[in-house]
Every structure is written in C-alpha cells, then in structure tokens.
A = this chain, B = another copy of it.
Amino acid sequence: MSQTKILLDESEIPTHWYNVVADMPNPPAPVLGPNGQPVTPDQLAAIFPEALIEQEVSSERWIEIPQPVREIYKLWRPSPLFRAHRLEKALGTPAKIYYKNEGVSPAGSHKPNSAVAQAYYNKEAGITRLTTETGAGQWGSSISLAGQMFELEVRVFMVKISYHQKPFRRSMMQTWGATVIPSPSDQTEAGRQILAADPDSNGSLGIAISEAVEEAAARKDTSYTLGSVLNHVLLHQSIIGLEAKKQFEKVGDYPDIIFAPCGGGSNFGGVTFPFLADKAAGKAVRLVAVEPGSCPTLTRGHYAYDFGDAVGLTPLTKMYTLGHDFMPPGIHAGGLRYHGDSALVSQLYHEKLIEAVAVDQLPTFEAGVLFAQCEGVIPAPESNHAIRACIDEALRCKASGEPKTLFFNLTGHGHFDMAAYDRYFAGELDDYPLPQEAIDRALANLPKI
C-alpha cells in the first residue's frame, strides 16, 4: 500500500507566505469608508500595527515569515498530509483522496497560523494587549495561545450565550492565560449601552466586535485582531497550501480538485491560493469553496459592497454577501455562519477562477461520521462540509470510473463539538432550507453606494 502519512521535517516549513494578489488578473477592489472613499492605511492604524496594514494592502508575491513565527509554528507544523486509503476503500472509488490535518495545532484548527503571526507583529510594534471577539471559540482560543507565546495580554469578548453554553473553549483560553469577558459587558461603552437597554442580553458577534474594537481604538497599547476575512489573514494561512504542494511533490502526485470549507475564507484561501498560482501558469486544478446550504454566500449571494459586521460599523468591502442583516440559522458549523466572505475569495469567484458549492447540514454530519469511522479523526462541523463535497466527487468518480486526485482541508478536530454529534445521532439536527425570500429581504438592505 502506498504512503498513508506524508510528513515534512520542520526544516521544510516554508520561509515565505504567498500573496495571491500578485497573481490576480485585476487588483483587489478598494475597501471604502462610511464616506464612500477608499479607506487609507492611516485609518487602520488605530487598531492594527503597521506591519499588518502593509500586508493588508501588499501586492508582493512572497512575504518572509519571521523566524520567531516559524519557531512557534514548529510546535505543530508542518501539519501532516494524509492519503485516506480507508475512506477510498469504504467508498469503492477509483479516486485518490488526500487531506491536510490542521487539527494538530494546540488550539485544534488552522486558526493559530494567523494568530501567531498577528501576535508577533503586534509584539514587535510595542503593543502589549490584544482584543478580539469570539463566538464558538476557535479564533479566541487561537489568539489566546498566540498571545501567551509572545507574552501579550489577551482579552476575548465572548458572546454571552456561548460563554455559558461552551464553557470548555473558555477554559482553554483561560489555560493559555487569556481574560475571557462575557459580552455584552460593562467594560465598554458599547456593552454598557446594550446592557442598559437589555440587562439580560445574550450578546451577539456584532456586539462583541464592537466591544473589542472600542477597547483597541481607545488604548495605544492595545490592538484588535481578526481571525478571517482580511487579506493578511489569508496571507498567513497560505502556509497550508504551500506545505501541501511540497507534500504532493514528495509523493509525485498533484490534486485535480481541492475542497475547503468557506466561511470568512481564511482556510479556503490558505489552502487553495498557492495552487491558484499554478492554475494561472496553466495547471488544470479546480478549487472549490464549500459553504452551508443555509448560509450560501457565494452560491446565492450578491457581489456588492457591504459591511463586514451585522451592525454596520466596519468599512465597506466588495464581496459576495447575503446582506449584513442576514441572520444565518443555528447550524453547528459556527465558523461558516457569516453573511459575507473574504474580498479576495469573492473577487476570484466573481472572475471564475474558483468554484463554490453549498451542502446541507445533515449530509455533512453523515460524511463526518463516515470519515471518523474510516480515518479515526473526528472532524469539526466546518470540516465536514469539505468532506461532504469531496465524498460526493469521489462517488461521481466511482460512477464514471475516473481516478481523480482529490484533496480537502481538514480544518480542525471536533473534540469541542461533540454536542453537535450527539444531536445528529439523536435526529435533532435540521438542514434549514433557505427560502429565496429570506435572502431577498436581507439583500434589500445592502448599503447604497
């Protein structure tokens, strides 16, 4: 049997991140301020350090990964590439299935790839405190880990209902030394206003963002951090695809199709963009973003300027969006419940360089359970989306007899999502079919610019 686990030595960790902007047919659409004018780097300086702002607007193809970041990466990177022999056999497919396991990071997902970089640049800029918001806790725990590694104080505003419902992600953040604050809190003006109006508010990601940004903007020693969507986040995540390319080279193979779950776009961009460079050079590789049927940003949204948050505080980004006041149903893949998408992913989708497909919740859990039974690892609900789409393609290959090489990104493990699996086994999960009216309603409220 051919190799199961394709490893790289830590000396093979890429030395540079890949910036897809260098290979895009058109420059990225500008981000606009409330006045409709492009946002300048200066305006971002209140909440981000200069090095990250430079990366946000850079069009350089390769950006060096600082040595201290690579040292931290060594704690879990390079992540292994697996050939899913047992899954192939269970499906009876002639396709070859590979997956990259990003769940091996201490926080259990790909998120620390950017968190470590963000913590490093903030430390270098003399920042001593980081703020962020978190819902389910994947990003909050990653920035807590990264802050600890660079001795930064980390303050995570955690949506209050999640704070109480998901105590274990909270304990994880506390173990890494972060302060976790149920949001809305009395520690910011935004939080106090909400509490005055509704003392029992359960909070929302929008409110938590407001609190985290307010605190960062108010203090010179404090920066705000974001775990997806922004260009510099996707840049840092390119480490996934760059490693994967080296790993495929080691076994003399190359993917025909790559599947990655897509919410804000950070893991999708991270794993696929380095392959997009090859596509630009003529390789026939297909890159497929997999999103929830109940939050189908790329497949059913509009390509338009919209706010990144629910309440309209952020600059306007040109992206695929379901409308900033679209409220995604309560699916368990919390990381994919986002009305918008990364500007880079959106533009590349608009220009037909990447594809997208939507899958429903129940089939994703079915796929995740089959994967766990074959390969061992229990995947995060977000990862189950990529697994579903990959299995569907493997079954098409079975029908057609095509021995395609398929590759998906296993973004994280499901150790903190077992309640979701419980509900799946108990028959309590829903697909939440999304009527067109719900999308139309939200799209009617797109900002007019």
| A contacts, CB < 8 Å to B | 1, 3-5, 7, 9-10, 71, 74-76, 82, 86, 104-108, 145, 148-149, 167-168, 171-172, 174-177, 369, 372-373, 375-378, 415-416, 418-419, 421-422, 425
CB pair A419 B3 closer than 8 Å: no
**Identical chains in the assembly:** 2
Are A10's CB and B1's CB within 8 A?
no
Q: How far is A210 from B146 in the complex, measured between Cα atoms in Å?
A: 47
Q: A171-B422, A175-B373 are known; give 10 further A-B pairs, CB within 8 A.
A: A4-B10, A4-B74, A5-B10, A106-B377, A149-B376, A167-B422, A172-B418, A175-B372, A176-B372, A176-B373
Indicate if the CB atoms of A415 and B108 lie closer than 8 Å: yes
For A377, the chain B residues whose CB sits under 8 A away are 106
- Most central of A74, A76, A104, A171 by chain B CB within 10 Å: A171
Q: Is the CB of B75 within 8 A of A171?
A: no
Q: Is the CB of B145 within 8 A of A369?
A: no
Choose from B107, B145, B171, B375 the contact partner of A418 (Cβ within 8 Å). Answer: B171
Q: What CA separation (Å) do A145 and B377 show in the bound complex? A: 10
Let me know if B7 and A3 touch, CB within 8 A: no
Chain B residues near A373 (CB-CB < 8 A):
148, 175-177
In the complex, residue of chain B having the shortest beta-carbon distance to the beta carbon of A83: B74
Most buried by B among A148, A174, A175, A425: A175
A174 touches B378 (CB 8 A): no
Chain A to chain B: the 3 pairs with minimum beta-carbon distance, closest first = A106-B376, A168-B418, A415-B415
Sampled A-B contacts (16; CB under 8 Å) = A3-B10, A4-B10, A4-B71, A4-B74, A4-B75, A7-B7, A76-B376, A86-B149, A106-B372, A107-B376, A149-B376, A172-B418, A174-B422, A175-B418, A176-B373, A177-B373
Point out the residues of chain B lying under 8 angstroms from A75, CB to CB. Answer: 4-5, 82, 375-376
Q: How far is the CA of A71 from the CA of B415 in the complex (A)?
A: 24
Q: Which of A107, A145, A418 has the most CB of B within 10 A?
A: A418
Give the CA-CA distance A103 to B104 in the complex, in Å: 10
